[in-house]
Structure 1
Amino acid sequence: MRRGWAIITTRDEEGSYYGAKATLNVWGLPSVSDRQESFSQITLRNDEDVISAGWHVFPEFYGDHDTHFYTLWVSGATPNKACYNLECEGFKRDNTSLYIPGHKIEPLSTYNGGQFEIILKIKQNNDTGDWSLYYGPNGDKPVGSWPKSLFTKLADKATTVDVGGAVLFNTGEPSPPMGSGQFSSEKAKKAAYAKDIQFVDKSGRSYKPGDDVIGEYADISHCYSISTFGNLANGFYFGGPGGCI
């Protein structure tokens, strides 16, 4: 599988991060084909340990072309196995939560129209070392957690934070759209965005990262693009139509 990215990422690959929060506008992408995935996410990693949450369109997984809320984790012990939502034993759902990994998201943003958002926060528990996921109007409603025992390196901290869009597609096939399917230059009400981005330090304090911490990265620039961090309220625009082979 080939990957494409349009993300902000922390410049220091050996940094110390204990959480992240972002507001993502949510789009429908019905043209994503059956063997492709397009997603918008927050990802924390330490070496091959990875946790991620956001929204995606993944027809092969769900059997539809709808937009779904998702969670994901990868353990360095089995780096080629990505566990989505509740399919593996690992992510522990909070049974009181109204937000269930895998649920269909409605309503969706429309081009030059209404914008609909989700707010997500991932934070490490200082006492247990587990990583908790929050959703909701203020990103404060518990969804569940990834136990510390799933990981080796993430049991301590994250060394990298990524926020933005990504796609997966087969080599030799046209790549899928990302975000809203529009380039970042379309901006307000037309392009996908991530805004109000915050990181969490070891004491549990949230803070706004500066551009000295953040770098922008788009690896297939003729199909996907990203604006400068801070181009939007502590955030950025990203995405593109795809179509690259």
Structure 2
Amino acid sequence: MGMATVALMLIGVIIYPCVCGKEFSDHQEIKIQTLLKRLNKHALISIKTVDGDIIDCVPIHSQPAFDHPLLRNHTIQMRPSFIPEITSTYTKKKTKATQAWHKNGRCPKNTVPIRRIMKEDILRSKSIESFGKKTTSSIPENDPSKGHEYAIMNSMQGKYFGTKFEVNMWKPEVQVPNEFSLAQTWLVSGVGTTRNTIEAGLQVHPGKYGDNNLRLFVFWTILHALYGDKNPRLFAYWTGDTYQETGCYNLDCPGFVQVSRHISLGAALNAFSTYNGEQYDFLLTIEKDQETGLWWLKFETYLIGYWPSFIVPKLAVSARKIVWGGEIVYYSRGQGTHTLTQMGSGHFAEKGFRKAAYFNSLEYIDTSNYPITPSPQHLEATVTRPECYNLMVGSSQRWGTYFFYGGPGRNPQCP
């Protein structure tokens, strides 16, 4: 009888953690499926891409933005109230950049293309709760010890209503999946723990997208105190709490309102520059509609959508600062060697055109919604480790104010 009791006790010890593990697994699965159901809206049609993404053509009024409590009664604006695009100081245009999914179809009118979120995307994030967010602040700082390094140009403090620039498209190598490399702009207002940002640009982010493709992104965040591949992607981000509470990439949370049926945030771009070869760039514009308070994002000639200023309250009037440039993040600091993750083309700025990455035709938008070219003397460079990544600024009649930037990461001078 004693032996039977011991046996039962042992069985109980063995079975109990298995049941708990299964309950935990089931609970996580329910949370993942709930999040997927919330993010992935019903699509009229879906388009499979060559790189494995699925683009859902979602009715424009059903997009995730309208899950935001402040947007539930919002009337979609299809264009800004100001007259479109005053002639820029730099109007030359080369081969147009397109996205990989365009090869297999287009979204119909009154829909928006949204990259479908897969279970694997969520599992790659640090946690279910952190999906779509930046795991650490990426607001430019001089301290590289936090795992971020920059080669950027900063505007002077002022009142800014947008920016316009051309950014060179490259596909930098990223050493490990949880690192990323990007080229972007930040529009910033507020200080310290009350800082808000809206951001847009290009990124290679294997940890978010599951590949090494170049992708377009947006981002926003509000401070209170992202893909699994190596493809280059267009992205957007916003934050209302210094990356600690509110904000996300693309349409990964309610906030950014998309109006374009042609461009999908987070989807891979199908062209990028090659060393000593053909160069690709595109025009990116963020501009505030001062009548409606909407911050509009424009990719080439496409109006992609907007951030309502009430979701980023410190940007309700204007931005106080604009930043342009490159950033990498890595988590191997303290392990004895620098990361091999590249910034830009993976080559230093002094290599110049066709070899180093660039931003050109830098402009900020003033109170009259007029684009102004800042002189290099009125910009401040921030380069956290010039032996790893660097920057060179200049100006010309053709390119306006421009800068080359980037680097290879680890090299004999950056061990």
Instruction: Give the TM-score band, short-chain normalised.
Output: over 0.9
Q: Distance in 2 between matches of 1:97 and 1:180?
A: 30
Q: Does 1:172 align with 2:334?
A: yes
> 2:255 maps to which residue?
90
Which residues of 2 match residues 203-222 of structure 1 at below 5 A?
A: 203-222=368-387
- Whether 1:71 aligns to 2:238 is no
Q: Which has the higher Rg, Structure 1 or Structure 2?
A: 2
Q: Which residue of 2 aligns with 1:130?
A: 294
User: Displacement, 1:225?
Assistant: 0.5
1:3 equivalent in structure 2: 148
Q: Secondary structure of the residue that 1:226 maps to in structure 2?
A: strand
The corresponding residue for 2:357 is 192
Counterpart of 1:121 (choices 279, 285, 288) is: 285
What is the rounded CA distance, in whole Å, between the counterparts of 1:119 and 1:201 in structure 2?
A: 18
CA–CA distance in structure 2, aligned partners of residues 32 and 109 of structure 1: 20
1:106 corresponding residue in structure 2: 270
Q: Does 1:142 align with 2:285?
A: no
Q: Measure the CA separation in 2 of the matches of 1:157 and 1:76.
A: 17
Give secondary structure in 1 for the equivalent of 2:270: coil
Question: Could you tell me whether the CA contact under 8 Å between 2:174 and 2:181 is conserved in 1?
Answer: no
Q: C-alpha distance in 2, partners of 1:172/1:180?
A: 26
Are 2:305 and 1:162 equivalent residues in the alignment?
no
Residues 56-81 of structure 1: per-residue CA shift (max 9 Å, x gap): 00000001111101111111353225
Return the alpha-carbon distance in structure 2 between the equivalents of residues 156 and 182 of structure 1: 39
Say which structure is richer in helix: 2
Helix, strand or coil: the match of 1:153? helix
Q: Distance in 2 between matches of 1:130 and 1:147?
A: 5
Q: Which runs of 5+ in 1 are unaligned?
A: none
After superposing the two structures, state which structure 1 stretch, 49-58 or 207-216, moved more. Answer: 207-216
Give how far 1:212 is off: 3.5
The residue number in structure 2 matching 1:240 is 407
Letter in 2 for 1:75: I
The root-mean-square deviation of aligned C-alpha atoms, in Å, is 1.6
Question: Which portions of structure 1, spanning 4 or more consecutive aligned residues, are displaced by more than 4 angstroms?
Answer: none
Offset from partner CA, 1:69-96 (integer Å, 9 cap, x none): 11111113532255111101101111x3
Deviates more, 1:34-43 or 1:69-78: 69-78
For the residue of structure 1 that corresponds to 2:313, the secondary structure is coil
Q: 1:241 to 1:99 in 2, by over 3 A?
A: same
Q: For residues 229 and 6 of structure 1, what CA distance do their matches in structure 2 show? A: 15
Q: Within 1, Cα distance between the matches of 2:394 and 2:319?
A: 21
Contact conserved, 2:147 with 2:330, CA < 8 A, in 1? yes
Please give the TM-score of this superposition, normalised by the length of structure 2. Answer: 0.55
**1: distance between equivalents of 2:405 and 2:345?**
9
Q: What residue in structure 2 maps to residue 36 of structure 1?
A: 179
The alignment covers a number of residue pairs equal to: 239
Q: Is residue 21–residue 122 contact of structure 1 (8 Å, CA) maintained in 2?
A: yes
In the aligned structure 2, how far is the partner of 1:64 from the partner of 1:125? 36
Q: Deviations over 1:117-159 (max 9, x none)?
A: 12100001111111110002xxx32001111111121111101
